[in-house]
Structure 1
């Protein structure tokens, strides 16, 4: 006989007695069991068995271990064994198992099960159930229950009718029976389920396959779960802390919150919450989408964690019961959630990933999410940006964390660079780094995610030694055009102590310049409106944001400095601060820009006599300029200035040390441009307006010349210093270049330089007329005809080289004379002066005077050339007119085209326009000798012979009439007339020879052939 240590007989008798007394009680018990087995607990057999195991371990105070073994017995029955450690089965436990909603578990023992209904889940898969413990065993059997009911029903017809009506659907868990057997070794209790069929087997197998870490996390009393199934190797679940970050909280609820709960629950005031986050979400095995209370419910969760809480459930055990108790517990869940977030933050995890986003999964989830967001927002979770990435002298791991509600983040890429934010965090309170893709979560937690421009605009515009570090940290942001624009309002410390906003227009000087300038200079530059960045804060970022790198020369050429110099020059009381500032900048600059020299020359300095004087009106004592320039025009500079500033500095602002060169930009051949207020250099050049008139005449009015250079102060050369001045101009390369290089107009014209023009036109050097280049000897020797027309160089330039002499008006031949020179040369000849034929021909061929000359050389008699008044001369149309000196002094030409050119150049009429040129008598026709025609093929066939030939009543030797017919009185005259008529004047001598001796025609024809150009 099987022992009955738990008094199951009495329990059975009591239940059967109740059913006999009231068959409706049987109906009620059967319906409740059926509701739980087939409805509320239909898929929770494994969870409920685990919950009972956890409670047993908790009551015993031992680690809870659970074995879930699915298999078949030797006789083929499918069996699930759930063995656990913990408190063994006792009589009170058996009574609890055999009752519905009358648990033996009481509040305060830390257990999970509270209502005595979970065990009914076994009825979903089994009709035969045994509970075997080290203290004994009981079993529940649908088959035995039916037999016992059959015996009892025989005596109670109403009960018999109820049993018949239920057709076998009876309450199997109400009648406990003694059972033999022991739990597996190492366990204290085992629940053995004889599975109803293969369908139940498959269902249990699926439930076992789904067992995961959630079971251990939800049931704190369990430390190990071993799952053994016939379709795979066994699994052991333990040490969930290695795979999950867990935060738990527990406490006792106020009694008032339980007032509306069922009586069995009112004493259960203890609450517990567990929040678990998988360390590796990809490897985590747990359903995070459902709330656990503590076993899984049908309430969905959108939080990225496993939520386990002792939430009150409705009678279905699948949904949370709403009310004040639930609200209070959701507050505790949110608190535990925040504690978990703090654990993640303390381990440098992605804490923002815990912020819920998207839509809530249900009403309970929505309430919980709202509480979670509030709790997270108030919890210090975010690492301050100043500690991110390592902060000198501090440890990011121990730096106080910032609650999201008091945090500031920079939106976009600007907020992702830890090195940038580390420095910026020292300036912006509560600044944190938001990882990429986490801005929505940060905003949901109350982080003020702000545009970079807003953060920059709120940086304090106050002196601070950390500007350089900040700029270095922000420099990478300037690579993005949008961030570069956002940095436009960045505070910028200036060298004068001010802090302004925006780098655009600021000037960045390097350390060398900063060291060279004193505070007085910086203050003066600030008063002029220059924004010079504090050198300690200078860096590439400011230049990328619009600041300009400026050396001393760049500072010097700022418009404000130029304006100050010009204003001081116009002021009766010059500003010593302007003078000091400009001299300091010049001293610090390696080289003064050429464009600055004209207005620097107006800088007011002090002369030796104490008078304020422009710099370009002074000379350095003891210098070459002091020796060469008249001190009545250019006074010595005050010695105290020489002592305070070195000679190079004073010379750079225009104080004369040597002869200097001025550059005039954008020159126009237009005298009106001389009044341009920007042409300061030109305004200091003597005769500049007249020189522009000269350029206009030479190059064309308004021609653009471009930049032109000039030797300055020529009008201030000291008496007796011209020889040395000219020697220096000729000998020093820059001065020489300025003299000899011509200026060129945009149309291609060429004119002499200003320096050459001034020395010719305004210096008393005897350079008014052209002269022959050289030492004064004729270029081609004593017989050179040019020497008779062009004088030798004046003594003032005789020692200079030929290139310089040419620049000063010297020529090497008549062909180089310009129009004005020709006019002067011709007009300087005295009338009646004999002129050698060679020199006369040079004049007739090359003369191109600018104005009609008053004198010209001309034939005044056959073979005699002399200077005549131009009004008495005319140009011969051809050689025959050379005989007509009775008409005018003759400028001989061979062809009409040459005559027309010479007449235009010398402003002389043609002789054919003065006299008719007609023979008085027709003469006698005669044939041209054959020998002459053989020599020159172009000869006319006949000629007119005269004893005396008169043309216009004047006797001549030969003529060619308007019809081209030759007239002559002699063979020599005939030869000349035939040569002109044929256009072969060069062969007149040969024609005369053949007319005298026709036998020489072959010889002379050969000579003519050799002399003719190649065809």
Structure 2
């Protein structure tokens, strides 16, 4: 429809000056009433002034818009407003003026609304008195026109104090084209000010009066556009305001929304009840209500008998329509209501909100708040995870602090972390689901108190059970990061690896590694008590593989499948291709591991467990006695004055085939056992009991060790790592191990069939003396010695032990025996005890032949001699050229003469030879 243009004058209607509404009869009746009662006119004038000046003051546009809405009985009504000097013109579409309407206008207190089905809001009713301030008002309609004129009324009655709108006259005015009715109000000087305020009122009127679709104010056009639950107020094609609307019968609840951007709602701070147009009743609610409650005659208050609670209908629907994260804005705050009406409406709204299904939950359904749980701060992710198990839990978008508080005001149950943990106790889900719960829950755990609240949080264990709380549980780090499926150990209370999240650390979970898990005493106990080791061995071997361990000590009792079909302890099995098998005796007690076990776990893991490949090692950090099932262990233990604190030893050495010791030593030289060859039980046992060509290793020497050449035979093909087992293998302990070994040394030294150089003999004697000094050799336990190795390299049965350096040249070489490379009186005495032989200083007598020449020790000749020989000479020195001594051995009547480099006689005089 084209926008109409108000016609200030109009053209004569089809009635001309005919009075279509019978205004003459109406005037006559009114005048008759006034004349019959001296007070009636004054009463009517007072009533009109009261309605105009008090009841409907300032409601000009509101009441005329309401009349226009009543006229638009089929909706889609339009109202056009214009200002023509002092004349305000209000033109509307819809039903034209009727005789009943005219009678209502002149009757002052009567409205014809009942005849229109009770759905009208102001069709020429009492509200028309909002125009009574004007001296002249014209109502032009397509059905006829009337006017009210204060001056004509005064002239008719002969009094200035006359009601302006009790006497109506016919008018020849017509409404503008496109409109059915126009009300022209002569507002005088107030016209411009009134007109200026109309545009501001129009947006509210378009909301309050749905029968009006458009209102024009001069050149500005306002329109209401409805799209489902959204209503836009548009000005000149641009959206001026947008409202979210919920309708319930004759009541509508609405809240402004942002017309652009995110489109969130904008709750009201204060508004008035509208029934349907604005009253003076303040509500202090965040939303606007437009309803149809009975009002007082001035339309400013609710009638005392009105059912105020009925106006709450639809409020919960509005809350349901609001975005989830903004619903809390529409929950009335616990403030003091503005009055009786506001209090009653506030009370009913809260009651409805408690039972209406408007609160969205994580499960997707909207529930009544009294059935909802709210966890303040619920993260989106946690809400998504819990959606299928805790349906009553409020949606995260409504669980922020303000939203949670609003829900609680509406009857929801607020829960904390402890409550959440309890609610989850009956949930049965996969471990990975629980990990998602923990990951999303972590953001809520900010303090120690928060963590304490989750002390009963369900946590799936690796063994399939559920544990309440993280304390007392462990996480196996390698298991968490494993890419392949690994059977978790059941001897530890482990969190399932798929359920682990760092939050559990903050709740008391403890970490352990594969080595820790395998060292736990509970595993040993499980091995001892389990009827079958199938699952246990699978878990242990999985962990060894997972940890890439080289050793898992103490687990050798774990049983594995052997190639004979039986289960054997791991440390009693050998790998099918174990090189150890080739060096053991034929009847060794070892079984052979089934190849399928090797194929599944690999040789490295099985060797770490204790399955034999090479020689196995016993390790005990807290040794308390010889209880490690090692051959001859008690004997080794007795060699220690202080018992050893630790035991690291190669086991099963007694099972080696005596003819395979060369191959066995090659195995022992492997990285795992090579360090044990240098000390401890392993070295002790091998030196005594391992033999090559029927000779103990301690009586053999390496090919490149010539220190005892001739005294000991060489051991060919012995790996370098095993050389410590041979004679002289370790310099610090070079020499016999014990008395038995010393006996062997002495026998070899006295063997005339052996060619032993004098230097070798001297070193051997020194080693014997050192062994006695260290306590390794008990001289009293040695068998008597028949023969000894001399300085001449020969064997004699009458040895003389050289106990003074000068006797080395003064005793016959075929009888002289040295206690070491250098002569030491104390060492000589020990060797004499070992050999049961005499000392040279005891059985030999001798001295220089000739007097010689006495020289000063500080003379050039003596100083040069000392420098050359390395002997420091002091005091009195006798020089001989040469120095010859005569020696007589006790029991030998022959005198022996020897040229010697120096001599010390019985008086302590030093004699030296300086050449001829």
- Give the TM-score taking structure 1 as reference length: 0.65
Partner-residue secondary structure (3-state), 1:312: coil
RMSD over aligned Cα atoms = 6.0
Change (3 A) 1:556 1:498: same
User: Offset of 1:754 from its aligned partner?
Assistant: 3.8
Alignment partner, residue 713 of structure 2? 792
Is 1:362–2:338 an aligned residue pair? Answer: yes
Alignment partner, residue 482 of structure 1? 445
Q: Structure 2 matches for 1:176-575, cutoff 5 A?
A: 176-197=168-189, 201-212=192-203, 214-228=204-218, 233-241=219-227, 242-243=231-232, 244-250=243-249, 272-278=250-256, 280=258, 289-314=271-296, 316-323=298-305, 325-327=306-308, 330=309, 332-341=310-319, 344=321, 354-357=330-333, 359=335, 361-363=337-339, 364-382=341-359, 385-386=362-363, 388=364, 401-414=366-379, 416-417=380-381, 421=383, 424-431=386-393, 433-436=395-398, 437=400, 438-451=403-416, 454-459=419-424, 461=426, 467=430, 470-471=433-434, 474=437, 476-477=439-440, 479-480=442-443, 482=445, 505=473, 539-540=498-499, 545=504, 560-567=522-529, 575=531
State the Cα deviation string for residues 883-910 of structure 1 (Å, max 9, x = none): 799xx98979999xx9699789989999
User: Offset of 1:761 from its aligned partner?
Assistant: 3.4
Q: 1:84·1:187 contact (CA, 8 Å) conserved in 2?
A: yes
Alignment partner, residue 68 of structure 1? 81
Partner-residue secondary structure (3-state), 1:43: coil
Change (3 A) 1:973 1:556: closer
Select 1:773's aligned residue among 690, 701, 704: 701
Q: 2:626·2:634 contact (CA, 8 Å) conserved in 1?
A: yes
Q: Structure 2 matches for 1:835-846, cutoff 5 A?
A: 838-839=759-760, 842=763
Q: 2:575·2:613 contact (CA, 8 Å) conserved in 1?
A: no
Alignment partner, residue 128 of structure 1? 136
User: Offset of 1:439 from its aligned partner?
Assistant: 2.6
CA distance in 2, matches of 1:937, 1:830: 35
CA distance in 2, matches of 1:907, 1:115: 152
Select 1:723's aligned residue among 627, 645, 659: 659
Is 1:966–2:888 an aligned residue pair? Answer: no
Alignment partner, residue 662 of structure 1? 616
Partner-residue secondary structure (3-state), 1:310: coil
Q: 1:633·1:716 contact (CA, 8 Å) conserved in 2?
A: yes
Select 2:48's aligned residue among 33, 49, 53: 33
CA distance in 2, matches of 1:934, 1:548: 80
CA distance in 2, matches of 1:893, 1:687: 34
Aligned length: 820
Partner-residue secondary structure (3-state), 1:235: strand
Higher helix residue share: 1
User: Offset of 1:432 from its aligned partner?
Assistant: 5.0
Q: 1:619·1:635 contact (CA, 8 Å) conserved in 2?
A: yes
User: Offset of 1:976 from its aligned partner?
Assistant: 10
Is 1:756–2:704 an aligned residue pair? Answer: no
Q: 1:661·1:735 contact (CA, 8 Å) conserved in 2?
A: no
Alignment partner, residue 1011 of structure 1? none
Alignment partner, residue 631 of structure 2? 686
Change (3 A) 1:830 1:804: same
Change (3 A) 1:756 1:779: closer
User: Offset of 1:184 from its aligned partner?
Assistant: 1.7
User: Offset of 1:301 from its aligned partner?
Assistant: 3.2
Alignment partner, residue 265 of structure 1? none
State the Cα deviation string for residues 484-513 of structure 1 (Å, max 9, x = none): 968775667789886665687489989999
Q: 1:67·1:226 contact (CA, 8 Å) conserved in 2?
A: yes
User: Offset of 1:50 from its aligned partner?
Assistant: 0.6
CA distance in 2, matches of 1:187, 1:843: 142
Change (3 A) 1:341 1:302: same
Change (3 A) 1:843 1:654: closer
Q: 2:580·2:614 contact (CA, 8 Å) conserved in 1?
A: no
State the Cα deviation string for residues 652-675 of structure 1 (Å, max 9, x = none): 59999856433444636xx52666
CA distance in 2, matches of 1:55, 1:422: 51
User: Offset of 1:186 from its aligned partner?
Assistant: 1.2
User: Offset of 1:182 from its aligned partner?
Assistant: 1.7
Alignment partner, residue 1010 of structure 1? none
Q: 1:604·1:615 contact (CA, 8 Å) conserved in 2?
A: yes
CA distance in 2, matches of 1:913, 1:481: 98
CA distance in 2, matches of 1:19, 1:512: 106
Select 1:824's aligned residue among 742, 753, 771: 742
Partner-residue secondary structure (3-state), 1:239: strand
Alignment partner, residue 235 of structure 2? none
Select 2:66's aligned residue among 30, 38, 51: 51
CA distance in 2, matches of 1:430, 1:457: 14
Alignment partner, residue 932 of structure 1? 861
CA distance in 2, matches of 1:843, 1:554: 51
CA distance in 1, matches of 2:696, 2:151: 149
User: Offset of 1:111 from its aligned partner?
Assistant: 0.9
State the Cα deviation string for residues 344-388 of structure 1 (Å, max 9, x = none): 28x9996565433453652333332332233233333355644x4
Q: Structure 2 matches for 1:8-27, cutoff 5 A?
A: 8-12=23-27, 15=30, 24-27=39-42
Is 1:102–2:125 an aligned residue pair? Answer: no
Q: 1:92·1:104 contact (CA, 8 Å) conserved in 2?
A: yes
CA distance in 2, matches of 1:439, 1:72: 56
Q: 2:801·2:828 contact (CA, 8 Å) conserved in 1?
A: no
Change (3 A) 1:22 1:382: same
Change (3 A) 1:368 1:665: farther
- Give the TM-score taking structure 2 as reference length: 0.71
Change (3 A) 1:723 1:305: same
Q: 2:473·2:510 contact (CA, 8 Å) conserved in 1?
A: yes
